Homo-oligomer: A and B are copies of this chain.
Amino acid sequence: MEYVLAQVGVVVFAMSGVLSAARQRLDIFSIVVVGLLTAVGGGTLRDVILDVPVFWLVDLTTFWVAIAASFITFIGIRFILKLPPRLLSYLDAMGVALFAVQAIDKTLVFGYPAAVAVVMGLITSIAGGIIRDVVTNRPTLLLSRELYATPIMLGSILYVVLLQEMASPLCRLMAMGVIFGMRAIAIRWQLFLPLRLTLKIDLSEDNP
C-alpha cells in the first residue's frame, strides 16, 4: 500500500514538472527530462546526503513510473488541462505528504535523531519542486505566499513525536493527514500565515 502511494507521489510530481515545462514550447524529450527531474530530484538529494544508494538506481520501477508518467502527461495534456486546476494542486499536496513521511522513515532507519529526519523530510519533499522551478525559470515554490513549507514542517514534527508513542502506520496516516489537510486548506482559501509570522523587508542597499 505504502509502496503504491510512493509511486503516486512520483506520478504527481512528474505531472507537475511536465505542466511547468509546458509553459514554454519545449520538445517532448526536454519535457520528459523536466518531469523526471521533478519526480526523482528530492529523493536523489536525500540519498546523496545520507550517502546511501540512490533509490531509482535500486528500484527501477520508480524510474520507469516517472518516465511513463511524464510521457503520458505529455500525450494527455489536453485531457489534464480540462481537469479542475486545483485537482493537481491537491495531488501535489498528497505527493509532498508522502515524500516527507518516507524520507523521515528512511532517515530514522539510519539512526539519525528526529530533528535531522524532519529536515530531511522537508528537503526531500521540496527539492524536486525547486529543481523544476529553477530549470523552467520560474520563481521557486519557496517564494510562493501560500503555505508550503509550514504544513510539511508541522506534519513532520508531529510524525516524529507520535512515533515515540504509537504504532507506525497510524502515525503515518495522521502526519500525512495534517500535511495534506493544511496544504489543501491553503490551496482552497489561498491561505498564508498570519502576518506577524511572515516577513517582508525593503532594503534599498544591496545587502549580501
Contacts and interface: CB of A to CB of B under 8 A. Distances in A.
Contacts of A5: none
A22 interface: yes
Interface string A175-208: 0000000000000000011000111111101011
Nearest to A25: B200
A19 B207 contact: yes
Interface residue range, chain A: 35 or more
Contact of A192 (B27, B74, B202): B27
B200 A22 contact: yes
As for how many copies of this chain the complex holds, the number is: 3
Contacts of A193: 27-28
A65 interface: no
Contact of A130 (B85, B135, B139, B152): B135
A24 B54 contact: no
Contact of A137 (B34, B136, B139, B199): B139
B51 A49 contact: no
Contacts of A74: 199
